[in-house]
Structures are given as structure tokens and as C-alpha cells.
Structure 1
Amino acid sequence: MGLVKRLCLRPGPGSPAWYGDTRMLILVVEDEASIRDNVGRILRLEGFEVLEAENGRVGLDLARAHRPDLVLSDVMMPVMDGHQLLEALRADPLTTALPFIFLSARTERTDRRKGMNLGADDYIGKPFSRDELLEAVWARIKRTQALGLSVPSGAALAAGERATTAANTGIKGYQTLKKLGSGGMSEVFLARREHDGLEVALKILDTRKHNDTSFLHRFIQEYALMEQVNHPNVARIFDHGFTDEQAFISMEYFSHGDIRQRMASGLSPLESMAVVLQVAWALSQIHALGIVHRDVKPDNLMLRANGSIALIDFGVAKHSQQQLEQTQHGEIVGSPHYMSPEQAAGKPVSAASDIYCLGVILYEMITRRRPFAAETLEVLLYKHIHEAPPPLETKFAEFQGLIDLALHKDPQRRFTSGQAIADYIIGGWPDVMRVLKAQTSK
């Protein structure tokens, strides 16, 4: 299934693997390279930042240098084994509170007791599945936060770095407040516009760090595309400009986060379709302008104070007048869990690709799980290309037709436009408009 040559992953703040505006860091210590690589892939697919070590000594050095939010460690390793690693971590004031989970085939009661006595938080017995791994990881993270550790140690270090960086952006007319996140080519800050006090999201490209002119071209392209769109369900853009060393875009800031955070607390099917309805209207507008977003996902659907939804992040969007194929041959742009079959195969995309992404989001909101999951990226992309999504449970059967049309493998057989989705939803479930009105009148 040699599908992947290059993949542009785009996780961001608001996804479950982020704490506030900082991506959570997990250290994997495992001497068996195949296991270490597989665990790392699973975690990265969920949006975590991952450090890997082949033995306890290397793991200890990495833990002290980076103070991760969680350590996953084998027991039997050369140089320094897992028990010795844990003992050293617990003896160091800087690392004594790090959450620690053993990955081990040694699951006898005496072995588990020894680990727990040294301070392990949990044990995962080998062999383990992807779901077992992620269940243990999320449980430990939630437990850590529930105990009142409001900022994990790794995030605390990053917060200090943000404070330093935030004071040095140097964009005239804006007072930088804090760093919100960063991507492959730019950083985003919360800033206050000096002439009226409006809080904005300030996206900055440091041209000194990027000698490749394609970064600047893509950055300018993002502004040029967003500037064309004037729609209530698309983020507003206020300004852009250049200094001697930077390019910047000033845009709408969303203090209420993204729809993924809302999904975590649960959405009814009608509430889910009210969200999809707004995104469909946004897509209808941008597609009419010849723009393909290429990265529609929950992390890019932001919540306003009035409850409405706004689509953000046109960083990898393309205009139909450009060659959509100009992306490097074999490069796959987007987010793996929400990727259309044609994106997953590295083929040219169209408006139908955004429709598929929206269908995945609807499926996840209704069922509270994604249609496809896999332990490796290659298998996940294969499923998008070749496998039908699992049918909805009987209690959600009324939405099956909507899902089938949105997630059809053939782009020509999906909904023809965002407006077509909107019309289908309003025609089939008129109460959605009532729910939408209630959502956006808060």
C-alpha cells in the first residue's frame, strides 16, 4: 500500500492532544524499534508531540531536558531498565511528578507491584491494541488534570517560552499578549489592536527563518484567498502587512475555542447538523469563488460568543485558477482522519473533497467516533480510499442517507455543493433551523 511520500499534518490548538494552546508531549522509551515506532505513529496521529528513546538512560536525559506530560516506558531495556528510569525520575524534584505508564510483557503480580511501589501510574500489557494504548493515555492525562495540575510540566516550559517570544513580535499597531500556537511556517499570537483595543489573532511569518520563497508565497496566498470571502461563517480578516523581517495577517480571534471542545461535551444529532449546516453555507460561498479549503476539520471550526460557527485556516487552500496539482507530486495535504479518498491518494482535489471532510465531521459528531481508525498512517489512508465507513447504529438510521452521499468514494457522486448539503438537511429535518436559532442567540 505504498501510498505516502510526504504528509502535511495540521493538528492545532483545541484538538484533544493540546493543553490550552500547547501541544502535549509524550516520551516513549522502548528498546524494540518496531514497537517504539508504532507507538509513536499512533500518538502522532492523535496530535501529540512525541519524543523517542531506545533505553532508560537516553529517556532520562530527554525527560530532564523536556519534562514531558507523560512517559511511556518498557521495563526490560539495556543500559538502564524501566524500573531504574522510574526510580531516577521520582528522585529528581524536576521530574518527580511526571505521569508514568509501563509498557511491558511482564504482567505478573510481583512485577506490577514493584512498578507501582516505585511510583508507576499504570501498566499496559504487551501485546496491546491502539485502543488500549489510547484509553490508558487519555485516562492518565485526564486524571492529572483532575488532580489540579492546571498546567502540565511540559506545557509550563512552553508557556515560559511564549512569554519571551510574545514580547518580541514587533508588529506596529499591535500589543502582543500571548502565543496561541505555531505551524509549519508561521506562529499565531493573541494581540490587542492599539487604536481600538480589539483582540485579534495575529499570524506572523518570520522571513528570516524561511529562505524558501514558497513559504512567503503561501502566506500571501492565504490572505489573498481569505480577503475574497465575506461570509458570516468564515473568519473575518482585518489587515495584513510586512516589516523588514516579517509578514503578518490580522484576523478574528475566537475566545470560545473550536467545535472539537464542544463535541467533547456531546452534541445531539440535530445540534450536529446545525453545525454542519453553517459549515456547508461557508463552503458554498468559498467554492463559488473557486476556492478549495483542503483542511476542513473540527479544529478549524471556531465558536463565536453568539454560538455561530466560523471556518478558519486557509493556509493550504487553493484557487481553481491555480493548478491544484502544483503541490509536490505525491505530497498529501490535510489531516489524516478527515481526508478525502483523493487527498489520501495524492490526487488532485476539488470542492467535493471538502464535502467529504465535512461528512467525516458529521459522522464523528453523531456517533462520537471517527469512521476510520488505524494503528498506522498508511492503513488509515488505505481505509479512506477503499473501505466503506461502518453503518450508523439503528438509532441514527435516519441520517444514513446523508452520510452516504457525503462520504461516497467517488467525488462525482457526493453532494454537488455545500448548498446541496444545506438544502438536504433543511428539507429532511426542518427542526434544525430552530436548533440553529437557539444556538446562535446565546
Structure 2
Amino acid sequence: LGGREFLEHTRARGRRSQLVHDLMTLPLLDAPSSRDRTLHASGTSDVFTAPLGGRGFEDGGALVVVKRSKITCARDIERFEREASLLASLAHDCVVRPLGLIRSPPTYALVLPLHARGSLFRALHNSGAGLSLRSRASLVADACAAVAHLHERGVVHRDVKPDNYLLREDGAAVLTDFNAAERSDAVSGAITLHARPTGGFFKQYVVGTLPYMAPELITRGGASGAALDFEACDMYSLGITANEVLARAVPYSDALTETAQLHTILEARYNHDALVVAITSQQLRPALPPLEPSAEAPPPQLVALVQKLWSQGAAERPAAAEAAAAAAGALAAIDGQAAPPPQLPPRAEVAAATAFLDEAAAGPGGEGGEGGEGGE
């Protein structure tokens, strides 16, 4: 293959030769074409769209997403190989499936499907999509199922959040961005805090995104010498994510802290350090969705699941398989109580509610969907 190796992850065996031919038409990715568009750039990789130039595409090639690693040392290659190996070990409807792998030094890249509807975060907060309770419950069920599959295969994600779930055309939520993922038996929790956890500390040493990070990961970080349970950390992140989907509110966006100054109580937004203290010491959590009886109020079992998932103690959180079963049961309960019965399957309802995002992505300045990488 001219120095390139490809890992093909499609069930359509008959398309193997066509897929390899199409991938071979990708440039070495050093000079993006006019059709290429950067979706995300970080210190470790560039993520952008690129056309497959294979035969049968009248428009010059179907768009895919290329995640090109930035290689500066041997550890960068190890990181790339680790992510590729983890993805190759997974096979689930709600986990991203790579189309190919490019090893052509100095280019190391994953070829991923394009999800033009973008991230779950975008659908919740930036699009105006009218997602019904049933649609949101379906997305929560997908999010739980993806994490359950990872843990079943001995993989921890370590950055579960709505930005890292993408919406597929059929309405499924697909977990992506495995840059921080590790084998459960290989990851270490030995992070020593020599001072209070400042913003700079998080950027340099701690994997994750603060509002979604488990309290024990923020504070102890293994300072006592005990390894952290990163599966339990994933479950906490999943709980914050599930509540964000149900409540349709960014975590802690409405949280206020009270400060006494000159005998006056002043209310203000939490800054980084204050939020760390509130989450870890005061057990602050995002606001739950409205619980008053209504057509849009989540069922009690789904709210109870969220509260279990974000429990302060890691041992109190349910395992991923249990959470996935509970979320699927809640979705079934919503369907069973609907009157009249729903006309569309849950995912089809999500797909119908978000179809306009495809058109928005195609327009000038549209997001286009992260296509597998929601925000490293």
C-alpha cells in the first residue's frame, strides 16, 4: 500500500477494495485543499475534513474527517498507536468506528466518518433543536451504552462530556475523541498535589474537563498513594452529561456563590478555584431538570440514576452496565406511558429534530460537525 497501512472497520466486506482505493487517494495531508476545513486544532493533533477521491463520487469525493497527530518525539507516536489500538478493540453502535489508519512518516493520522450534525453539546445549546423528553432519554441511553461497552472491553475514556458525543444521521449519539483514553489496567492515578489545584495545574497534569470531573480526581488525585478508580470517574462524568441532556442546561451555568463583604452578601458566578471547592467540599452539583409532573418531566428512575452517577463516593456509583440498563428501562417506560403511542422510534425522533443541522453545517461558516473529535 505504498507505505500506508489501513485498518478497515466496516461490516460491508464487499466494499473493502473500494474503501482502500478511496483512502489511497487521500493526499499526504501536508497541503489541505480548498475543500478541506479545520474542525479542531490542539497541541496534539489537527482535525479537518478531506475528500475521498475514489471513483463513483460525482462531487469529487465524499468528505471524511482526518485526525492528524502532531509528532515531535517517540512518545507522540506511542500516543497515536495507543489511540488506534483502543479504537480497533471497540465495536459498538454508539462508539466511533475509524475508516482507516495512515502511517506514512511523518504523517500519522486516523480517518474517521464525518458527522455533519456536530456534537451533542451543539444540538443541546447552540442549535435551537427542539428535543423532546423521549429524544433526550434516547440520547442518555446511547451515552450510557457507549461507556458500558468501553468498560466491558477494559477501556476508560477519561473525558466523557457532550462535546465528545456526535450525532449520527439516524439520531444516535456516538462517543468519540479517545485521545485521553487508556486501558483500565494500565492507567495510573498517582497524581500528587503539592498545592491547591490551580487552573495551570489542571492544564498540565489532570486529564478531563472540570465541570465533568469526579471530585476524587480533582482533589486527591492519588496523593495518598492509592490508585483512582477511573471507571468510577467515567461514571461521574456520565452523570453530569446525562443531567445536561435532560435539563438542557450547561453544568453550573446558573450556580451562584455568596460572599460576605462589608456586612453585605454578594452573589457572583463561581470562578475556577471556587468551583473546585464547591464540587469537592460542598458537594455542589448542577441543577436537576424540573421535576413537576408534566409531559417533559423526566421519569423518577432517570433522575435517580443521575443522582447515583454523580455520588460523592466512587463506590456509590453504579457500574456502566447497570446504568445502561437503567437508562434503557427509563426510555421504555416513557414509550409505554405515551398517549397516543409514538409514531417514530426514539432515534428517528432525534434524527427528525436535528435534520436541519445538516443544512446549517453546509452553509458559510457552519460548524460541519467535529466528525469524531469533539474537543480535545
Per the TM superposition, whether the score is higher than 0.5 is: yes
Task: Name the structure 2 match of 1:190.
Answer: 49
CA distance 1:325–1:237, shift in 2 (3 Å): same
Give runs of aligned pairs for residues 23-42 of structure 1, distance below 5 A.
none
Give 2:103's match in structure 1, choosing from 229, 239, 242.
Answer: 242
Do the aligned partners of 1:242 and 1:248 also contact (CA within 8 Å) in 2? yes
**How far apart are residue 175 of structure 1 and its match?**
9.4
Task: Name the structure 2 match of 1:24.
Answer: none
Higher helix share: 1
Q: Which amino acid aligns with 1:384?
A: I
Task: Name the structure 2 match of 1:352.
Answer: 232
2:285 is the alignment partner of 1:426: no
Find the aligned partners of 1:225 and 1:414 in 2 and give their Cα distance: 25
Give 1:263's match in structure 2, choosing from 124, 143, 154.
Answer: 124
2:308 is the alignment partner of 1:405: yes
Find the aligned partners of 2:94 and 2:38 in 1 and give their Cα distance: 25
Do the aligned partners of 1:237 and 1:251 also contact (CA within 8 Å) in 2? yes
CA distance 1:175–1:420, shift in 2 (3 Å): farther
CA distance 1:380–1:190, shift in 2 (3 Å): same
2:94 is the alignment partner of 1:233: yes
CA distance 1:310–1:171, shift in 2 (3 Å): farther
SS at match of 2:96: coil
Give 2:207's match in structure 1, choosing from 318, 326, 333.
Answer: 333
CA distance 1:437–1:302, shift in 2 (3 Å): closer
Find the aligned partners of 1:334 and 1:237 in 2 and give their Cα distance: 23
Specify the structure having the higher radius of gyration (Cα). Answer: 1
Structure 1, unpaired ranges of 5+: 1-165
Do the aligned partners of 2:136 and 2:245 also contact (CA within 8 Å) in 1? yes
Find the aligned partners of 2:48 and 2:277 in 1 and give their Cα distance: 36
SS at match of 1:363: helix
**How far apart are residue 294 of structure 1 and its match?**
0.6
**How far apart are residue 368 of structure 1 and its match?**
3.0
SS at match of 1:190: strand
**How far apart are residue 336 of structure 1 and its match?**
1.2
CA distance 1:344–1:414, shift in 2 (3 Å): same
Task: Name the structure 2 match of 1:378.
Answer: 273
Deviations 1:97-131 (A, max 9, x none): xxxxxxxxxxxxxxxxxxxxxxxxxxxxxxxxxxx
CA distance 1:221–1:364, shift in 2 (3 Å): same
Task: Name the structure 2 match of 1:280.
Answer: 144
Give 2:243's match in structure 1, choosing from 344, 359, 363.
Answer: 363
**How far apart are residue 326 of structure 1 and its match?**
6.6
**How far apart are residue 327 of structure 1 and its match?**
6.9
Do the aligned partners of 2:69 and 2:109 also contact (CA within 8 Å) in 1? yes
CA distance 1:228–1:322, shift in 2 (3 Å): same
Higher strand share: 1
Give 1:438's match in structure 2, choosing from 342, 345, 348.
Answer: 348
Count of paired positions: 272
Deviations 1:210-239 (A, max 9, x none): 23x322222221111111111111111022
Find the aligned partners of 1:409 and 1:259 in 2 and give their Cα distance: 26
Deviations 1:158-213 (A, max 9, x none): xxxxxxxx9982499x9962222112211011012233533211011232xx23x3
Task: Name the structure 2 match of 1:199.
Answer: 63
CA distance 1:337–1:267, shift in 2 (3 Å): farther
Q: Under a length normalisation based on structure 2, what TM-score does the superposition of the two structures give?
A: 0.65
Relative contact order, higher structure (CA 8 A, sep 6+): 2
Find the aligned partners of 1:278 and 1:432 in 2 and give their Cα distance: 15
Find the aligned partners of 2:179 and 2:104 in 1 and give their Cα distance: 20
Do the aligned partners of 1:358 and 1:406 also contact (CA within 8 Å) in 2? yes
Farther off after superposition, 265-274 or 246-255: 265-274
Find the aligned partners of 1:216 and 1:349 in 2 and give their Cα distance: 27
SS at match of 1:334: coil
SS at match of 2:47: strand
RMSD: 2.9
**How far apart are residue 362 of structure 1 and its match?**
1.9
Do the aligned partners of 2:229 and 2:314 also contact (CA within 8 Å) in 1? no
Task: Name the structure 2 match of 1:94.
Answer: none
Give runs of aligned pairs for residues 76-225 of structure 1, distance below 5 A.
169-170=29-30, 177-195=36-54, 197-207=61-71, 210-211=72-73, 213-225=74-86
Do the aligned partners of 1:360 and 1:370 also contact (CA within 8 Å) in 2? no
Find the aligned partners of 2:214 and 2:188 in 1 and give their Cα distance: 15
Do the aligned partners of 1:267 and 1:365 also contact (CA within 8 Å) in 2? no
Find the aligned partners of 2:246 and 2:85 in 1 and give their Cα distance: 35
